[in-house]
Amino acid sequence: MSSIRNIVILTGAGVSAESGINTFRDAGGLWEEHRVEDVATPEAFVRDPDLVHRFYDARRAAIQEKAPNAAHEALARLDAAWPGELLIVTQNVDDLHERAGAKRLIHMHGEHLNARCTACDQRSPWTGPLINRPGCPACGMAGYLRPDVVWFGEMPYRMDEIYHAINRADLFVSIGTSGAVYPAAGFVREARANGARTLELNLEPSEGSYWFDAARHGPATVLVPAWVE
Ligand code: BJW
């Protein structure tokens, strides 16, 4: 890694799988016979908010019992030790990267532990099951609280910062993501176009595996510590 100074690391559900958090598209990744595309949309929330709240309440409760694994911990060590620029961009809404100690981190698809008001957009900490009636702490009774996550058709968070980092990266590493969801699935091409080396660490070849200079396939708790050390 001697010629490498700036690193961007994209993570997906596969990095948390060995902590016991289900991925979206692997076997068992469906929920109550709904595809994620059918519950993770603004239209689904309008159509059946109780269903969407149950989906997120169940996942939020499950996540709080889980702990970071060796992959999260290895990335946190790299973050602490790396002298150059480094950014972990996670698509995950769990908090396992920060619980492992990662600091240079962006949650591009939001965070389970926040709620957001549909009227004023203010974030507030999640404090319990989100009951589907108005009651935003910031704007009073005008807005409904929704999970502070990015659904299909919505703009992922902090995209300017992410593209800025990708455009400066010497190395782009993708860990535990299927490459099925954009814009994250397009980051590897953006990084390549700007001259970065690209590496995939995933259980199996992802949909975009073709775009990476190198790939290692296996469990994240094995591959990530081996790559970091
Ligand atoms: C392991 C492992 C182990 C397992 N070790 N590995 C047609 C073409 C292109 C784009 C579109 C299109 N039609 C619509 C779009 C846009 C749409 C999109 O991408 N749709 C696709 C279905 C095609 N995207 C959007 O709408 C996004 N917004 C947008 O595009 O805005 C406009 C824009 C334009 C330009 C720039 C910027 C913006 C928003 C997408 C929001 C996604 N939201 C979700 C839900 C978040 C909240 C929640 O958590 O509920 O995000 S959907 C879901 O998928 C979640 C994930 O973050 C995301 C990605 O999933 P991930 O992490 O890859 O998980 P899996 O399950 O798919 O894969 C796990 C992988 O791990 C597998 O490969 C396993 O092998 C591996 N694995 N165990 C290592 N132990």
pLDDT digits (tens, 9 = 90+) for 64-88: 899 999 999 999 999 999 999 999 9
Centre of ligand 1 to C-alpha 97, Å, is 18
For the segment 83-118, what is each residue's pLDDT rounded down to a tens digit?
999 999 999 999 999 999 999 999 999 999 999 988
ipTM given for this complex: 0.95
Residues 121, 143 contacting (CB under 8 angstroms): no
Band of residue 138 on the pLDDT scale cut at 50, 70, 90: confident
**Residue 123 near residue 46 (C-beta atoms within 8 A):** no
Report the CATH fold assignment for 1-20+68-109+156-229: Rossmann fold (3.40.50)
145-149 and 171-175 beta bridge pairing: unpaired
| In contact, 208 and 54? CB cutoff 8 Å | no
Counting from 1 in the atom list of ligand 1, the atom nearest the Cα of 92 is 57
Question: Atom 47 (ligand 1): residue with closest C-alpha?
Answer: 149
Pick the residue whose CA is nearest to atom 43 on ligand 1: 151
Q: How confident is the model at residue 172 (pLDDT cuts 50, 70, 90)?
A: very high
Instruction: Please confirm, yes or no, whether 112 is among the known catalytic residues.
Output: no
Classify domain 22-65+112-149 at the CATH topology level.
SIR2/SIRT2 'Small Domain' (3.30.1600)
Pocket of ligand 1 (CB under 6 A): 12-14, 17-18, 23-26, 29, 36-37, 40, 91, 93, 109, 149-156, 159, 176-178, 180-183, 202-204, 206, 219-220
- Which two tokens mark 180? 């099925």
Gap from CA of 142 to ligand 1 centroid (Å)? 31
Structure confidence at residue 2 (pLDDT): 66
Residues of the chain with CATH 3.30.1600.10: 22-65+112-149
What counts of helices (H) and strands (E) characterise the chain? 9, 9
